[in-house]
């Protein structure tokens, strides 16, 4: 009897402990999200004037654009150095994150960054190191939400990568133009009563993502890689097993000829994956939100901004897909508090890709 009771107690404990851990972790993560959100310091960024190098020195405009955009890599490299070690930072709460925001309000477009109190000086140094003429000043929180439209006049959602993060998006080296100008053009229709925000949250990640990306590239070189989910791979394995049972073995000619010959497109994709892993990576959340006095106006603004992100689509590689928010009120809260889901690890961009954004 005692043995049965003891075994039953162990069984219940084995079930309840994992459930209790998951519930406690969820609660603690939510509390940490609010704590981090309340400790973010908004900084208004005064950008330097447009470079006139192209006119003064006869340089190609595209070269000047590439040079100016590439400076952002300096900034992101400094931010990447803030990565924290330890179990809590890696598996429980996640790394500290910062926000870069393009905000349209009152008929004007402004640039902000929101930073944890402990990282204010580091981020200021990072921005000024890349752009010496830039100035950052602490600012009160802005308000893009229409007092007339309220929640019914608000629309928004998130942008996520279409494919596995190992595949890069189109960068400024591929686009050969300033992508920021396209984003700003998408905001040209906003009026004084409209508000819009493009929020890019990022936090440095450890080097594990490089191993995963390299593994994908290795499998692709061997002809085993698939961008689809596990279901497709399962059917593929079942098909191969069935063929092995029903088809007589074939003799292989020439030693070491198992590796398939790659097309030039496949090779360029592999080169792009290898190139992506050579730079620091960041987990990223991209939110787009708009508010107006009428719902259809805010939805139209969001569509214009989403269309601008199509510029980053790289055929055969990666791009962004837009998912509208199902719960607009919760989405607005996440935007205002700048919540970064601790479990997010599906959207990883490197410093070059972030520089393009």
> Is the model's pLDDT at 231 over the cut of 60?
no
- Contact present, 300 and 169 (Cβ < 8 Å): no
Backbone φ and ψ of 281, nearest 5°: -110, 155
User: How high is the pLDDT of residue 102?
Assistant: 95
pLDDT band at 23 (very low <50, low <70, confident <90, very high): low
Q: Report percent pLDDT > 70 for the chain.
A: 76
- Contact present, 98 and 113 (Cβ < 8 Å): yes
Please choose, from the candidates 72, 83, 305, the residue with its C-alpha nearest in 3D space to the C-alpha of residue 188. Answer: 305
Give the pLDDT confidence of 240-250 residue by residue, as tens digits.
554 555 555 55
- Contact present, 279 and 351 (Cβ < 8 Å): yes
d(CA 69, CA 64): 9
Q: Which residues contact 56 (CB under 8 A, 6 or more apart)?
A: none
> Is the model's pLDDT at 84 over the cut of 80?
no
Sign of CA dihedral 162, 165, 170, 174: negative
Mean pLDDT of the chain: 81
Give the pLDDT confidence of 332-349 residue by residue, as tens digits.
999 999 999 877 678 999
Whose tokens are 């591929």? That residue is 174
- Contact present, 240 and 246 (Cβ < 8 Å): no
d(CA 20, CA 69): 48
The length of the chain, given as a count of residues: 357
Per residue in 177-207, is it b (16+ CB within 10 Å) or e — as a string? ebbbebbeebbeebeebbbbbbbbbbbbbee
Backbone φ and ψ of 253, nearest 5°: -100, 135
Exposed / middle / buried, residue 144 (Cβ in 10 Å: 0-12, 13-18, 19+): buried
d(CA 318, CA 341): 22
> Is the model's pLDDT at 13 over the cut of 90?
no
Q: What dihedral do alpha carbons 65, 68, 73, 79 form, nearest 10°?
A: -130
Q: What is the pTM of this model?
A: 0.81
CB 340: neighbour CB atoms within 10 A? 22
What the block records as the tokens of 84 is 């924290």
């Amino acid at each position: 009897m005692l043995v049965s009771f003891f075994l039953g107690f162990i069984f219940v404990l084995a079930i309840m402990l994992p459930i209790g851990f998951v519930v406690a972790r969820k609660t603690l993560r939510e509390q940490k999200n609010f704590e981090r959100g309340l400790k973010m310091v908004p900084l208004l960024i005064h950008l330097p004037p447009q470079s006139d190098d192209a006119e003064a020195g006869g340089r190609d405009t595209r070269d000047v654009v590439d040079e100016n955009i590439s400076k952002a890599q300096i900034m992101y490299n400094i931010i990447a150095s803030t990565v924290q070690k330890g179990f809590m930072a890696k598996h429980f709460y996640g790394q500290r994150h910062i926000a870069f925001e393009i905000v349209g309000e009152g008929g004007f477009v402004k640039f902000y960054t929101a930073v944890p109190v402990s990282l204010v000086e580091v981020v200021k140094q990072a921005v000024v190191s890349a752009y010496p003429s830039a100035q950052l000043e602490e600012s009160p929180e802005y308000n893009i939400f229409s007092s007339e439209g309220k929640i019914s006049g608000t629309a928004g959602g998130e942008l996520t990568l279409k494919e596995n993060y190992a595949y890069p998006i189109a960068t400024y080296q591929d686009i050969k133009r300033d992508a920021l100008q396209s984003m700003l053009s998408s905001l040209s229709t906003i009026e004084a009563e409209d508000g819009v925000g493009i929020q890019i949250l990022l936090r440095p990640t450890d080097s594990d993502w490089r191993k995963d990306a390299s593994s994908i590239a290795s499998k692709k070189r061997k002809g085993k890689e698939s961008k689809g989910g596990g279901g497709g791979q399962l059917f593929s394995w079942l098909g191969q097993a069935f063929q092995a049972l029903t088809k007589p073995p074939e003799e292989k000619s020439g030693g070491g000829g198992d590796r398939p010959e790659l097309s030039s497109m496949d090779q360029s994709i592999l080169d792009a994956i290898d190139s992506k892993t050579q730079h620091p990576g960041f987990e990223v959340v991209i939110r787009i939100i708009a508010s107006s006095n009428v719902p259809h106006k805010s939805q139209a603004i969001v569509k214009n901004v989403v269309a601008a992100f199509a510029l980053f689509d790289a055929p055969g590689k990666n791009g962004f897909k837009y998912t509208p928010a199902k719960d607009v009120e919760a989405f607005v809260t996440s935007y205002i508090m700048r919540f970064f889901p601790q479990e997010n690890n599906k959207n990883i961009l490197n410093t070059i890709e972030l520089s393009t954004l």
